[in-house]
Structure 1
Amino acid sequence: MLALVTPFSTRSVIMKREQVVEAIVATKIERGLSWEAIAAELELGTVWVTSACLGMNSMPEKPAKALCQLLDLPEGSQRILMSYPTKSWDQAVPQDPLIYRLYEVVGVYGDTLKEVIQEQFGDGIMSAIDFSMDVDKQVDPKGDRVVITMNGKFLPYKTW
């Protein structure tokens, strides 16, 4: 039987974003790395690097290359890390308790946040593009506190 040679046989393996994410997470666990340590190595913010590593943001060339070298990622990973993702998530209410609680916060306080933001800034939204987020730990004798800081540019709605 003859082997069929196609133009694709000489190309590098085309990976899917999910495969790159799996490789990143597996290597992180195997090496005992933290997202904070990876972000420090890339000289970028922990939340942003984590989001990009989980496939929700594209990485510029320099940090994508550095991440691939740091984690010895498979060939083709850098191209995937640099590509523009389609940002989507499961529309069902998540079952993970931590993520569910964040949904609960938005469910309980979403309308309140909207009212307060629009009262202070006018009719518009907080950008999730011109945006940063940090997670900090506040030590407290009654139980440590999670501090999430979201910082987004206000974008007023336009009229025309």
Structure 2
Amino acid sequence: MPHSNISRAPRQHLTERVLQAKTAKNLTWAGLAEGTGLSVVYVTAALLGQHPLPEAVAEVVAERLGLDRGAVAELQTIPLRGNVEDVSSDPTIYRFHEMVQVYGTTLKALVHEQFGDGIISAINFKLDIKKVDDPEGGERAVITLDGKFLPYKPF
């Protein structure tokens, strides 16, 4: 039976334990996700408190991290999602806010022109990030947001 959190505190506390164990054991997000059948993005988001994990996956990652049965149970709870009430000052997170501030209306206009009136789901959604070489030198991040379009329905 799924259980739900009504506070961010339990998952925030667990996230701290996850990060400490990950660092102490010199693990990677990819290594933690390996063999779970879930994407590294989903497992990372779950371990950072944003998604529940299926029981079998919670058991695998908890074992890799050396976490107890209580952590296995908590990893399966449906979290209170979202991290902050306002815009984060962390430079990496803020850049994503900045991208939406600059390109949000453009994305909205193009989505509506191509699909009609509706939204792109963050529930039926996939996220991927890849590092690629920049032809001008250095590296680039290719971030793919893949969400199902959900049209508004008149009633």
Q: Which residue of 2 aligns with 1:11?
A: none
TM-score, structure 2 normalization? 0.89
SS in 2 for 1:32: coil
Q: Which residue of 1 aligns with 2:148?
A: 153
Flag the structure with more relative contact order, 1 or 2, with Cα contacts below 8 A and sequence separation at least 6. Answer: 2
Question: Which has the larger Rg?
Answer: 1
1:153 partner letter: K
2:64 partner letter: L
**Superposed displacement of residue 74, structure 1:** 2.3
RMSD between aligned alpha carbons?
A: 1.4
**Superposed displacement of residue 103, structure 1:** 0.4
Q: Which residue of 1 aligns with 2:6?
A: none
Q: In structure 2, what is the Cα distance between the partners aligned to 1:136 and 1:39?
A: 16
Aligned length: 146
Q: In structure 1, what is the Cα distance between the partners aligned to 2:37 and 2:27?
A: 15
Task: Verify: 1:80 aligned to 2:93, yes or no.
Answer: no
**Contact preservation (8 Å) 2:126, 2:146:** yes
1:117-142 superposed Cα distances (whole Å, 9 cap, x missing partner): 11111100010110010110011242
Task: Verify: 1:67 aligned to 2:50, yes or no.
Answer: no
Q: In structure 2, what is the Cα distance between the partners aligned to 1:68 and 1:32?
A: 15
Q: In structure 2, what is the Cα distance between the partners aligned to 1:154 and 1:58?
A: 23
Q: Which residue of 2 aligns with 1:139?
A: 133
Q: Which residue of 2 aligns with 1:12?
A: none
Aligned-residue identity in percent? 42
**Superposed displacement of residue 22, structure 1:** 1.2
* Structure 1 runs of 4+ with >2 Å offset: none
- Aligned match for 2:47, one of 31, 34, 53: 53
SS in 1 for 2:109: helix
Q: Which residue of 1 aligns with 2:25?
A: 31
Q: Tell me whether 29-38 or 145-154 shows the greater mean CA deviation.
A: 29-38
1:29 partner letter: T
Mark the runs of 5 or more structure 1 residues left unpaired by the alignment. 1-14
Mark the runs of 5 or more structure 2 residues left unpaired by the alignment. 1-8
1:34 partner letter: T
